[in-house]
């Protein structure tokens, strides 16, 4: 995990990063997803019991006592809102949509990285399929399906919001349709999470191919610019010098690390051994 790999912006080689930091970037995303789900649980954990059809009840019920016995954290405080509230449904599906988004981006990365053009990772045969025509192919179908199924979760979110957007106050039978979209989004995301975990558990990084990828693209150019900033140059000036050195290297078929000190000094006397 401490091995170095190219980091990308705009799908162009940018700067060196570690494999660990790459994987941890998705941990950050999923931890935010978990925090959103915990917040959503708080919205669900409200007892509407006693709200009646729309105007509460004339019976002498103890709503807070009932809510406590049933394990709710609190009660709803407006019966009109309580019987028609499905905000928590929309928020849950939105949370599922973001999880699906993050898993789709991860799947896209791994599809690209497992391609023969990159070859950074190898997906286990259990999660690939062969081509019906071309015997050499190993297609990352599971990852492609994770990416595709994100669209269905988005569809559930749009359907839920559309159900809610045109209703008058109080309860309406339209709300019966919420379960279809909650369960569809939840089932899809759970299955995608399981598949991502399984793929990752059996995935291998091709560190030799990754190391070769570090040799191209001048990934050390930013470090050179920052070095010049450390020598007192304004970043705009340092950026220009580093860029001119990259152009010089491209013209002469060299890497920055292969330049001699005299070649560096032709572009900036601030560069020292």
The predicted-structure confidence for 17-33, as pLDDT tens digits, reads as follows 999 999 999 999 999 99
Fold observed for domain 218-267: Ribonucleotide Reductase Protein R1; domain 1 (1.10.40)
High-pLDDT (> 70) share of the chain, %: 100
Q: What percent of the chain has pLDDT over 90?
A: 89
Catalytic option among 10, 116, 126, 132: 10
* Spatial contact of 50 and 59, defined as CB atoms under 8 Å apart: no
Single out the catalytic residue among 65, 130, 131, 211: 131
For strands 46-47 and 74-75, give the pairing.
Answer: parallel
Token digits for 238? 């340092």
- DSSP H helices, 166-219, are 178-201, 207-214
pTM above 0.95, yes or no: no
pLDDT at 80: 97
Residue 131 has pLDDT above 80, yes or no: no
Residue 10 bears catalytic tag: yes
- Locate the domains of the chain by residue range: 4-212, 218-267
Query: What is the mean pLDDT of the segment spanning 129-133?
Result: 81
User: Is 131 among the catalytic positions?
Assistant: yes
Q: Which CATH class is domain 4-212?
A: mainly alpha
Checking if the pLDDT of 125 tops 70, the result is yes
What's the longest Cα–Cα distance across the chain?
92
87-113 vs 178-201: helix crossing angle, rounded to 10? 30
Q: Hey, what are 154's tokens?
A: 């988005």
């Amino acid at each position: 995990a401490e091995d170095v790999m190219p980091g990308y912006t705009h799908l162009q080689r940018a700067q060196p990063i570690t494999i660990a930091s790459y994987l941890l970037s998705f941990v950050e995303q999923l931890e935010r997803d978990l925090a959103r789900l915990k917040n959503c649980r708080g919205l669900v954990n409200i007892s509407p019991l006693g709200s009646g059809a729309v105007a509460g009840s004339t019976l002498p019920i103890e709503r807070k006592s009932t809510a406590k016995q049933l394990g709710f954290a609190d009660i709803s405080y407006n019966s009109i809102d309580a019987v028609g509230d499905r905000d928590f449904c929309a928020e849950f599906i939105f949370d599922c949509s973001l999880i699906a988004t993050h898993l789709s981006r991860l799947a896209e990365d791994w599809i690209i990285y497992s391609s023969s053009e990159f070859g950074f990772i190898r997906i286990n045969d259990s999660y690939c399929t062969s081509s019906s025509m071309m015997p050499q192919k190993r297609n990352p179908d599971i990852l492609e399906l994770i990416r595709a199924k994100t669209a269905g979760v988005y569809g559930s979110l749009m359907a839920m919001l559309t159900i809610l957007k045109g209703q008058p106050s109080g309860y309406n039978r339209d709300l019966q349709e919420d379960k279809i979209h909650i369960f569809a989004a939840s089932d899809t995301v759970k299955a995608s999470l399981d598949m991502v975990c399984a793929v990752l558990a059996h995935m291998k990084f091709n560190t030799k191919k990754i190391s070769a990828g570090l040799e191209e693209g001048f990934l050390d150019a930013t470090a050179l610019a920052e070095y010049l900033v450390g020598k007192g140059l304004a970043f705009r000036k340092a950026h220009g010098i580093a860029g001119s050195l990259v152009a010089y290297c491209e013209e002469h078929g060299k890497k920055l690390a292969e330049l001699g000190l005299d070649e560096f000094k032709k572009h900036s006397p601030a560069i020292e051994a």
